[in-house]
């Protein structure tokens, strides 16, 4: 079998591991963390909407969120049973408030009062007061329940014990409107007070407007006696109950709860007061009368409150209590870096592959996934599919991360690096660039060089001396002949770790036939002589490291010793790189 020769193209080897970093980042537009069903995201802003359920609701804030915008709408006070006295509107509050990332907000959305005299509910305990009831045509309207957002549960007594104190847990409260006074069959009931900032004074019979966090007075009723309308709550106190010409006053607000209208089921009373609105403080209930020339008195509204900045107060016109909480998640960017050069078969250390996450909060979590694409002739235009997953890194805030494992390129060529950050509830996902400008590593093929034998000529003729086969001398020439063993050191150099296959070829004479050197036969014995290299059956392998390598060879191939002759020892790598050295064995 002939040995085939071919010229291999020269490949430059970049030994430098200087880092080449790509800082262009493509930002994703959606959060990786699943949002609650009542939340949506547009860009960096997450908005969560709550409606009235009669029970407390919660919102878990992502780690790293430090502020939120809250819009709250309180419940509307109800009309009276005859629908000729009108309840006051609920308050509206808009504010930016400080929050703690990773904590839970407790959301209590009030409900509207009922013209059956039932006060609007609020999970925060800021329910509207009940309107006085007996006849369905002259019931006082129930007060609207307040809508509130706070940092602890209103169902926890240790939380409500902090109301009105230095550690006030309520961030925003939108007061409920006061219920209308009942119709006594002679005159329409008077109106309940609105929970927004009162702009005009009421009359002696209408409920007072609720005060707001700017310090507006809630007792917007002229000084007159008796004043049957319930007082609106102020930022510093509950509204008083309305007085009555027959000494049948409404109940004053109690803490955040609106006062009840007077009375409840007294058949001697011909008209009934409205229920006070719930709020930061509750509004007072309306008084009642049994004088047909007079009518039931409206209730006061609850007060509103906000512990934040950019606060605005107003009156609701929709009669739809609600709470909306919005917060902004951090915009992140991811860049990836890798060695500029490498060698096929040699691992690229994990420590030299880096992804830098910037813009993330200090509490950022999630995962960075590393992907390498190649070898390829050009940068990919899509990086979300294909490639080889190198590993992941667990994120803990902004910083530079490395994959858990190294990457070993199997072939020469250019490899392109891509990193993607999963994002979390408080941080947007992001990826490194894809396409032109990607970080890349140019991998050279593994090459073998400096193949060398410690000796190039071996004499195997020997004589037996003391049970050993030694070199023949004049002194031992009469001893029995023997074959001396071969012991030679083979050394070689690799530019990268690889398995080296060693084969041996024996030189033999031949004849040129049609440009080839073939075995001599009777037919071609007169042709021009040439040298043939015939492969010796068998081969052996050595695993080499990057740099200098050596081993001791006994001159055997396939378990058989080589006969005298001239030989070539060839070291060859899987990608074709090879080196050859010649040696001779004499008998």
Q: pLDDT category, 278, cuts 50, 70, 90?
A: confident
Q: pLDDT category, 271, cuts 50, 70, 90?
A: low
Cis peptide leading into 442, omega within 30 of 0?
Answer: no
Report the pLDDT averaged over residues 527-537.
Answer: 96
**Least confident range of 272-281, 315-324, 525-534:** 272-281
* Residue 178 confidence (pLDDT): 85
**Least confident range of 112-116, 166-170, 488-492:** 112-116
* Residue 287 confidence (pLDDT): 75
Cis peptide leading into 59, omega within 30 of 0?
Answer: no
Q: What percentage of the chain exceeds 70 in pLDDT?
A: 80
* Residue 123 confidence (pLDDT): 63
- Provide DSSP, 268-286: T-SS-PPPPPPSSSPPPPP
Nearest to 79 by CA among 26, 120, 124: 120
Tell me the CB-side half-sphere exposure of residue 43, using CA atoms within 13 A. Answer: 4
d(CA 112, CA 106): 20
User: Of 101 and 86, which is predicted with more confidence?
Assistant: 101
Q: pLDDT category, 137, cuts 50, 70, 90?
A: low
- Provide DSSP, 528-579: PEEEEEEEPS--EEEEE-SEEEEEEE-SEETTEEPPSEEEEEEEE-TTS-EE
Eight-state DSSP code of residue 352: G
* Residue 332 confidence (pLDDT): 95
**160: part of which helix (H) or strand (E)?**
helix 157-160
Nearest to 154 by CA among 69, 65, 71, 58: 58
Nearest to 240 by CA among 226, 254, 223, 256: 254
Q: List, for residues 551-571, the tens digit of each pLDDT value.
A: 999 999 999 999 999 999 999
3-state secondary structure of 237: strand
**Would you list the domain boundaries of the chain?**
19-30+330-444, 45-328, 450-586
3-state secondary structure of 159: helix
Q: Which CATH class is domain 19-30+330-444?
A: mainly beta
Q: List, for residues 212-242, the tens digit of each pLDDT value.
A: 444 333 333 444 434 456 777 778 888 777 6
**Least confident range of 70-74, 135-139, 408-412, 536-540:** 135-139
Q: List, for residues 361-392, the tens digit of each pLDDT value.
A: 888 999 999 999 999 999 999 998 889 999 99
The answer to whether 573 and 4 are in contact (CB under 8 A) is no
d(CA 105, CA 307): 14
Q: pLDDT category, 8, cuts 50, 70, 90?
A: very low
Q: pLDDT category, 116, cuts 50, 70, 90?
A: confident
Indicate the pTM of the whole model: 0.65
Within 10 Å of residue 582's Cβ, how many Cβ atoms?
Answer: 13
d(CA 348, CA 90): 66
Q: List, for residues 322-336, the tens digit of each pLDDT value.
A: 999 999 999 999 999
The answer to whether 159 and 171 are in contact (CB under 8 A) is no
Q: pLDDT category, 124, cuts 50, 70, 90?
A: low
Report the pLDDT averaged over residues 292-300.
Answer: 62
Nearest to 288 by CA among 182, 142, 170, 394: 182
**Least confident range of 256-265, 343-352, 477-486:** 256-265
* Residue 25 confidence (pLDDT): 35
- Provide DSSP, 401-457: E--SS-B---SSEEEEEEEEE--BTTB--EEE--STT--EEEEEPP-EEEEEES-SE
* Residue 121 confidence (pLDDT): 73
Asked if the model's pLDDT at residue 269 lies above 60, the reply is no
The third-level CATH classification (topology) of the domain covering 450-586 is Immunoglobulin-like (2.60.40)
* Residue 225 confidence (pLDDT): 39
Q: What percentage of the chain exceeds 90 in pLDDT?
A: 57
d(CA 193, CA 2): 108
Q: pLDDT category, 80, cuts 50, 70, 90?
A: confident
**What are 557's strand-pairing partners?**
560
Nearest to 278 by CA among 75, 73, 89: 75
Q: pLDDT category, 148, cuts 50, 70, 90?
A: very high
User: Of 182 and 566, which is predicted with more confidence?
Assistant: 566
Residues 6+ apart with CB under 8 A from 227: 204, 205, 221, 242, 243
Q: What is the mean pLDDT of the chain?
A: 83
Q: List, for residues 447-498, the tens digit of each pLDDT value.
A: 999 999 999 999 999 999 999 999 989 999 999 999 999 999 999 999 988 9
Report the pLDDT averaged over residues 536-547.
Answer: 95
- Give the distance, in angstroms, between the CA of residue 394 and the centroid of all CA atoms in the same chain: 11
Asked if the model's pLDDT at residue 254 lies above 80, the reply is yes
Asked if the model's pLDDT at residue 201 lies above 50, the reply is no
Asked if the model's pLDDT at residue 13 lies above 90, the reply is no
Length of the chain: 587
* Residue 198 confidence (pLDDT): 43
Report the pLDDT averaged over residues 64-78.
Answer: 93
């Amino acid at each position: 079998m002939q040995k085939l020769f071919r010229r291999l193209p020269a490949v430059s080897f970049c030994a430098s591991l200087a880092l080449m970093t790509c800082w262009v980042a493509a930002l994703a537009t959606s959060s990786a963390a699943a949002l609650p069903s009542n939340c949506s995201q547009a860009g960096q802003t997450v908005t969560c909407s709550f409606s009235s359920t009669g029970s407390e609701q919660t919102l878990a804030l992502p780690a790293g969120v430090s502020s939120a915008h809250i819009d709250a709408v309180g419940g509307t006070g109800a009309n009276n049973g005859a629908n000729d006295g009108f309840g006051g509107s609920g308050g509206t509050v808009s504010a930016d408030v400080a929050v703690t990332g990773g904590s839970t907000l407790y959301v209590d959305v009030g409900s509207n009062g009922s013209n059956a005299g039932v006060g609007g509910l609020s999970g925060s305990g800021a329910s509207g007061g009940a309107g006085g009831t007996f006849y369905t045509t002259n019931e006082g309207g129930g007060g609207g329940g307040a809508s509130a957002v706070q940092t602890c549960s209103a169902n926890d007594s240790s939380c409500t014990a902090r109301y009105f104190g230095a550690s006030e847990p309520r961030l925003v409260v939108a007061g409920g409107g006061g219920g209308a006074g009942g119709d006594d069959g002679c005159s329409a009931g008077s109106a309940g007070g609105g929970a927004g900032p009162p702009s005009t004074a009421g009359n002696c019979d209408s409920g007072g407007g609720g005060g707001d966090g700017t310090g507006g007075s809630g007792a917007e009723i002229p000084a007159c006696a008796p004043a049957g309308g319930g007082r609106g709550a102020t930022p510093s106190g509950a509204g008083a109950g309305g007085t009555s010409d027959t000494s049948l006053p409404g109940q004053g607000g109690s803490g955040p709860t609106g006062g009840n209208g007077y009375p409840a089921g007294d058949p001697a009373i011909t008209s009934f007061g409205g229920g006070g609105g719930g709020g930061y403080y509750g509004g007072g209930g309306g008084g009642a009368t049994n004088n047909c020339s007079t009518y039931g008195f409206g209730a006061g509204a609850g007060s509103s409150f906000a512990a934040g900045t950019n606060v605005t107060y107003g009156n609701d016109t929709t009669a739809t209590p609600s709470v909306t909480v919005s917060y902004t998640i951090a915009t992140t960017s991811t860049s990836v870096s890798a060695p500029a050069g490498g060698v096929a078969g040699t691992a690229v250390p994990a420590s030299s592959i880096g992804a830098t996450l910037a813009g993330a909060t200090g509490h950022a979590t999630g995962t960075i996934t590393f992907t390498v694409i190649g070898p390829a002739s050009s940068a990919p235009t899509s990086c979300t599919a294909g490639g080889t997953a190198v590993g992941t890194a667990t994120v803990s805030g902004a910083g530079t991360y490395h994959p858990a494992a190294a990457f070993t390129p199997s072939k020469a060529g250019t490899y392109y690096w891509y990193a993607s950050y999963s994002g979390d509830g408080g941080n947007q996902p992001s990826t490194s660039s894809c396409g032109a400008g990607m970080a890349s590593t140019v991998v050279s093929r593994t090459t073998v060089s400096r193949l060398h034998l410690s000796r190039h000529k071996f004499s195997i003729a020997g004589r037996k001396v003391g049970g050993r086969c030694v070199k023949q001398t004049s002194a031992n020439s009469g001893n029995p002949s023997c074959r001396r063993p071969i012991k030679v050191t083979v050394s070689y150099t690799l530019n990268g770790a690889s398995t080296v296959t060693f084969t041996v070829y024996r030189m033999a004479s031949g004849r040129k036939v049609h440009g080839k050197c073939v075995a001599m036969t009777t037919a071609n014995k007169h042709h021009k002589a040439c040298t043939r290299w015939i492969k010796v059956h068998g081969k052996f392998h050595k695993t080499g490291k990057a740099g200098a390598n050596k081993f001791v060879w006994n001159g055997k191939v396939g378990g058989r010793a080589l006969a005298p002759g001239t030989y070539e020892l060839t070291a060859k790598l899987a990608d074709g790189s090879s080196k050859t050295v010649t040696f001779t064995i004499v008998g």
